[in-house]
Amino acid sequence: MKRIKSVFTIVATACMVLSCASNPYAPTNRVHKKHTKELIKELEILPPPNPGMGSSLKYAEDWVGTTNFNLRKPNIVIIHHTAQDSVGQTLKTFTLERTQVSAHYVIGENGKIYHMLNDLYRAWHGGTGQWGSNTDLNSSSIGIELDNNGSDDFSPLQIQSLLELLKDLKEKYKIPTANFIGHSDIAPTRKNDPNKTFPWKELAKEGFGLWYDEIPEEKVHVLGESKTLTTEIPQEIRTEVNDSVIVAKIKAPISTPILDVTPKVALKIIGFDVSDMPAAIKAFKLHFIQAEVNSTLTDHDLKVLNNLYKKYL
């Protein structure tokens, strides 16, 4: 019996050695585990250290630890494209300490998912950005990187894996439908990912992100501009001439604004940082229009914006 146990131990050890030897990321995995242990030690400091004699804070003499707590959970998912040449290059980038960038997940073109960081840890994927009033997206989000050079279409296998992953994350953390967004949404002045080929509409159909209703093509008159008229109705217009008032009946168009509020207000309600309006408009069009991605809002764009901002209210 002892001999069998000994043989089993040798085989198990050999398997572990072979596994480590076959994994090219074994050295960085060891760094990962070491850093995890350091964080655990930091959390285990109980009670919290006394701030010292110089502090004006009046801490009680006895420490009292609550019995009701758990780990924080992510509430947002941010999708990126890697803008690199291969998934291997991205994995290397995220395992070099000097790069100071990371993500929770990387999905290859072949659909393979690399889970690089515990969902409850804070990855360094969002950088400086804002969504609504949230200015620290890294602390509340999960970052997913898709292997893509920044211009090519995303592969069907990759999108299928993404959808399966998003379903798992949404169920696990109860992430709201509206909180599945892109990197360019939170950092419109710096980022343009995922690129304009990304299937946001397909994701929205599965419950990951909001999308606008079908916009019927119709001719609408816009206040203050010469546009094709929808209809004509009698209307009184008063004109003052030399202290007298002339009342004339003319046929004038119905003036129906395309957007109920200003573009700035609508974009802000959706979540965009509107401190730089041209950048915010461009980010909006990259996500929802995906054609003529520029800082000009066409009539169609305004209709889409009008439909969308009400969904985000």
Say what percent of the chain tops pLDDT 90.
70
**Which two structure tokens, joined as six digits, stand for 276?**
């730089």
Q: How far is Cα 111 from Cα 280, in angstroms, rounded to an integer?
A: 31
Angstrom distance (rounded) from CA 112 to CA 87: 10
Residue 130 is predicted with a pLDDT of: 98
pLDDT of amino acid 61: 82
Give Cβ neighbours of residue 283 (< 8 Å, ≥ 6 apart). Answer: 184, 185, 188, 272
Which of 42-56, 155-169, 262-276 is predicted with the least confidence, judged by mean pLDDT? 42-56
Higher model confidence: residue 147 or residue 22? 147
Paired residues of 78 in beta bridges: 143, 181
Q: Over range 138-166, report the average pLDDT.
A: 98
Domains of the chain listed by start with CATH number? 76-205 (3.40.80.10), 263-312 (no CATH)
Query: Which residues 6+ apart lie within 8 Å of 51 measured at CB?
Result: 57, 59
Question: pLDDT at position 230, please?
Answer: 40
| Cβ pair 112, 47 in contact under 8 A | no
Q: Is the pLDDT of residue 26 over 80?
A: yes
* Res. 58 pLDDT band, cuts 50 70 90: confident
Would you say residue 233 has pLDDT above 60? no
3 state DSSP class of 185: helix
- State how far the Cα of 302 lies from the Cα of 306, in Å rounded to an integer: 6
Residue 312: is its pLDDT beyond 50? yes
Strand, coil or helix: what is 134? strand
- In this prediction, residue 237 has a pLDDT band, given cuts at 50, 70 and 90, of very low
What are 67-84's pLDDT values in tens digits? 999 998 999 999 999 999
The pLDDT score that the predictor gives to residue 18 is 44
Q: Which helix (H) or strand (E) holds 6?
A: helix 2-22
Two tokens at 75?
């509430």
Lowest mean pLDDT among 173-177, 244-248, 296-300: 244-248
The residue type at 292 = E
